[in-house]
Amino acid sequence: MTPLPTPEELAARHLFDPVPGSVHIRDLINQVKDGIYAKDKLSDYAIGIILWAKYIGMITAWEGTLFQVPWVKDMKLRVKVPHVGRPLLGPDGNFLTLMGRALQGASEGDLDKSNLTPDALLSHPGYANWVKRNLFAGRTPEATRYKRVRDADNVKDCDVYVNSIPYAPGPLSTPPAPVLGSSPEPVTKKKVAPRASLKADKPAFKGTRAPQADHEGETRGEDAG
């Protein structure tokens, strides 16, 4: 099992949150076998389409496990995987719950939960169009486009390769949002000149008065009378 990255590493990871209908699941699995998206964070939408592909037999558990951030061996979801990005909506327009995962995304209660179970989803009248769009990008299951660049075809070889190279986000992944209150450059405080006193300077000692200007513009001191 690949260890979970540190909180600092995870915070810097990009998020794979594809637009619904833009990803073919078999292309996605072929990409992750080549190391693409393997270390990215996944939105609930991405998690959901991979879970559903596993449920209907389009992919195997070890293939899903190649996505290292949300899953461990046998495609078991890690504890406390955050709800981020887009939700996975069912054909009824509400967010689905699959294998115990509420696929609500970052909606924070703005969406309704679907009552569709996996069996009810399969028998829903809108299922054919739903699965064609969400799992196959509007194409057939066989209409893949991505061409593999490596021949590794098991979890060990794929993980060894991914863990041997520096992290690189997938082409559709987006960088994390900047932390609120952070500044790309340090802020330098401006120096404020001291305010001039509104009061006239007091004499240095009692009995002395301020110098006065004579007719030639020079100053002189006079003793107090």
pLDDT of 216: 43
pLDDT of 1: 55
- The pLDDT of residue 217 is above 90: no
Pairing label, strands 101-102, 212-213: unpaired
Q: Where are the domains of the chain?
A: 7-163
- The pLDDT of residue 94 is above 50: yes
- Where do we find the tokens 């699941």? 25
- The pLDDT of residue 194 is above 70: no
pTM value surpassing 0.85: no
- C-alpha dihedral, 60 to 159 to 104 to 24, nearest 10°: -60
The span from the CA of 72 to the CA of 68, in Å, is 7
Q: Which of 43-47, 105-109, 120-124, 199-203 has the lowest mean pLDDT?
A: 199-203
DSSP string, 101-150: EE--TT-TT-SPBP---HHHHHT-TTHHHHHHHHHHTTS-TT------S-
pLDDT of 177: 82
Report the percentage of the chain scoring pLDDT > 90. Answer: 71
pLDDT of 35: 97
DSSP string, the chain: -PPPPPHHHHHHS-EE-PPTTS-BHHHHHHHHHTTTTTTSEE-HHHHHHHHHHHHTTSS-HHHHHTSTTTEEGGGEEPTT----S---B-TTSSB-EETTEE--TT-TT-SPBP---HHHHHT-TTHHHHHHHHHHTTS-TT------S----SHHHHHHHHHTS-----TT-BPPPPPTT--SSPPPPPPPPPPPPSSPPPPSSTTB---EE-TTS-EE--B--
